[in-house]
Amino acid sequence: MFREIAIIAPGAMGSAVARRLLEHGIRVTTLLEGRSVESRRRADDAGMIGVEPTRLVEADIIFSIVPPAQALPLAETIAPLLRQSHRKPIFVDCNAVSVETVTRVAGVIEASGAPFADAGIIGGPPVPGGAGPTFYMSGTPALELDALNDVGLQTVVMEGPIGTASALKMSYAGITKGLTGIAAAMILAAVRGGAAASLHKELGLSQAQLLQRFGKSLPDMYPKAYRWVAEMREIAAFAGDDPASARLYQALADFYETIADDYEGPQANTQAIDDFLRLKD
Amino acid sequence: MFREIAIIAPGAMGSAVARRLLEHGIRVTTLLEGRSVESRRRADDAGMIGVEPTRLVEADIIFSIVPPAQALPLAETIAPLLRQSHRKPIFVDCNAVSVETVTRVAGVIEASGAPFADAGIIGGPPVPGGAGPTFYMSGTPALELDALNDVGLQTVVMEGPIGTASALKMSYAGITKGLTGIAAAMILAAVRGGAAASLHKELGLSQAQLLQRFGKSLPDMYPKAYRWVAEMREIAAFAGDDPASARLYQALADFYETIADDYEGPQANTQAIDDFLRLKD
């Protein structure tokens, strides 16, 4: 049974997972050095305990929950501490990274003597007293992590080596976030072409489920678009055995970059999408 | 009121539209010179009358319903006949082409003195005794085409110049066929990554509407993929004011080319998708 779990970092997902674990009697530690005021407040609110890096590796499990580009640097920071430590917690990479990236992360961690599991989180952060995401896990050490189901985290241990959980995460996100991207791109193109009202009406008639989905998925996306840029690049690498698929997700990364820039600045595109979604037929 | 409508060419859509018009008492002519045995049989079955090009322009309306790459060449073939003719039928480009392409087609036709309307067909070919697609029309001559509603063709006349109907068609197809493309790409990537069974199960749990849609939209796509290559390139041109969107649809064109090649040959990818869709969770 697990008593202490370390979660890096206390972002929206990490702090909500921490809160869920705390509700189930788990002590949750984290690193706060160099974190923003907002992260420190989130960690505090969730009941996470800020500790020194050398103390962090005393946990039973370390969850890495960071933006895709930080997955490997974080592992490289933690690996020397794991090497020096007598305790060897299971290091679980929960990030939206390609099979190639997670394999490199695994190599860094395993060289320290600590066991490594691959994880893909599907779904949004746990809601207090409500639903939570599913943690898909792969790699041999994942077998021990089935017990996370007993402490509030819905966990599915997959057959398959390290990389299998990330392949699931990438393909799932590729479909759901890919759909959001093409919808945003085509709505903006329809607006430019003077066809927005007709597109809204026709979608309502013949694609009502999609139109209803866009009403929530598009506005939810704007503040996350900057994170999705890196995630789309990971999906491009994941799909790289097919060059056309790789180019498709590279283009989606570039598109989300334009959305992120617009959202930080003039909000002309996000406003145009909002106006589209509010049309009455 | 319309008595005679020319439809080029007698493809799946063209011949089904012809049949619908014939059921409403319209005489439908077409060009058969140089067409395949299959096209001739389809035209014959639908009751279309094969005529000489000089006779074709005696119709009240000419519908151009051809693959995207043939839209401009067809207009260039018909324009000289229209110029020499006393009758000036409304030439209606119904093709899945960009605003840029349809504007060029319009220029060619209008130079002959014939009126031109832009149309976008949304939905599959009319089913005998059943539902049919919607013909969205734009451009001033489109106002006269509202009467097509009286002869079995659901027609919506849009406010807006030539290009508006094509913008609707492009953005609508960009969403629906874009979704089909990203789904195919990600299912194949999941298969390669050993995550197919988990992806199927998770989609069934959290994206049941999408999974159900894929069960029909993906197999329906294989035999059409070769046509969608050109359509995706038209959408890339249509979305070209945003370079990332243009690259996105260029990549989808390339992806559909790999699907079309596979379907003509080994059918390894289409088989892998079919196997995925048949998974039982």
Indicate the pLDDT class of residue B254, thresholds 50, 70 and 90.
Answer: very high
Q: What is the CA radius of gyration of chain B?
A: 20
- Contact between chains at B195 and A252 (C-beta distance less than 8 A): no
pLDDT at position B142 over 90? yes
Mean per-residue pLDDT for B150-154?
A: 96
Specify the 3-state DSSP secondary structure of B89.
coil
pLDDT at position A244 over 90? yes
Q: At a CB cut-off of 8 Å and minimum separation 6, what does B268 contact?
A: B262
- According to the model, what pLDDT value does residue B129 have? 83
- According to the model, what pLDDT value does residue B103 have? 97
Distance CA B96, CA A202 (A): 16
Q: Choose the mutation target among A138, A207, A248 for the interface with B, i.e. most B CBs under 10 Å.
A: A248
| B30 half-sphere exposure, CB direction, 13 A CA radius | 31
Mean per-residue pLDDT for A207-232?
A: 97
Mean per-residue pLDDT for A14-37?
A: 94
- According to the model, what pLDDT value does residue B34 have? 85
- Contact between chains at A241 and B163 (C-beta distance less than 8 A): no
Distance CA A96, CA B194 (A): 17
Work out the percent of chain A whose per-residue pLDDT is above 90.
96
Taking the domains of chain B in order of start, what are their residue ranges? 4-160, 167-277
Q: Choose the mutation target among A202, A232, A241, A269 for the interface with B, i.e. most B CBs under 10 Å.
A: A202
Which amino acid, A159?
E
Give the tens place of pLDDT for each residue, A87-107: 999 999 999 999 999 999 999
Q: Is A168 on the interface with B (CB under 8 A)?
A: yes
Class in CATH terms, B4-160: alpha beta
pLDDT at position A275 over 90? yes
- According to the model, what pLDDT value does residue A129 have? 83
pLDDT mean across residues, chain A: 96
Residues 27..46 of B with a Cβ closer than 8 Å to A: which?
A: none
- According to the model, what pLDDT value does residue A265 have? 97
Residues 244..273 of A with a Cβ closer than 8 Å to B: which?
A: 244-245, 247-248, 250-252, 254-255, 257-258
Q: Is B212 on the interface with A (CB under 8 A)?
A: no
Residue A258: list chain B partners with CB under 8 A.
Answer: 242, 244
- According to the model, what pLDDT value does residue A83 have? 97
pLDDT mean across residues, chain B: 96
Specify the 3-state DSSP secondary structure of B244.
helix
Q: Is A170 on the interface with B (CB under 8 A)?
A: yes
pLDDT at position A1 over 90? no
Give the tens place of pLDDT for each residue, A160-169: 999 999 999 9
Q: How many CB atoms lie within 10 A of CB A115?
A: 18
Mean per-residue pLDDT for B192-218?
A: 97
- According to the model, what pLDDT value does residue A34 have? 85
Indicate the pLDDT class of residue B130, thresholds 50, 70 and 90.
Answer: confident
Sheet holding A90-93, edge to edge: A49-50, A27-30, A4-8, A61-64, A90-93, A116-122, A134-138, A154-157
pLDDT at position B262 over 90? yes
Start-end of H helices in chain B = 12-23, 37-46, 53-56, 71-84, 99-110, 164-192, 196-206, 208-221, 225-238, 243-264, 268-277
CATH superfamily of A4-159: NAD(P)-binding Rossmann-like Domain (3.40.50.720)
Size of interface A-B (CB pairs under 8 A): 204
- Contact between chains at A251 and B255 (C-beta distance less than 8 A): no
Residue A209: list chain B partners with CB under 8 A.
Answer: 209, 213
Give the tens place of pLDDT for each residue, B31-82: 998 888 998 999 999 999 999 999 999 999 999 999 999 999 999 999 999 9
Q: Is B94 on the interface with A (CB under 8 A)?
A: no
Q: How far is A75 from chain B (nearest CA, A)?
A: 23
- Contact between chains at B247 and A241 (C-beta distance less than 8 A): no
Residue B185: list chain A partners with CB under 8 A.
Answer: 174, 239, 242, 244-245, 248
- Tokens, residue B263: 């379907």
Distance CA A74, CA A24 (A): 27
- Contact between chains at B255 and A245 (C-beta distance less than 8 A): yes
Q: Are B95 and B103 in contact (CB under 8 A)?
A: no
- According to the model, what pLDDT value does residue B232 have? 97
Partners of A136 in the beta sheet? Answer: A120, A156
- Tokens, residue A147: 């017990």
Work out the percent of chain A whose per-residue pLDDT is above 70.
100
Q: Is B131 on the interface with A (CB under 8 A)?
A: no
Work out the percent of chain B whose per-residue pLDDT is above 70.
100
> Got the DSSP string for A196-256?
HHHHHHHHHHH-HHHHHHHHHHHHHHGGGHHHHHHHHHHHHHHTTTSHHHHHHHHHHHHHH
Q: Choose the mutation target among A182, A212, A273 for the interface with B, i.e. most B CBs under 10 Å.
A: A182
Distance CA A51, CA A30 (A): 6
Of A5-9, A68-72, A113-117, B33-37, the one with minimum mean pLDDT is B33-37
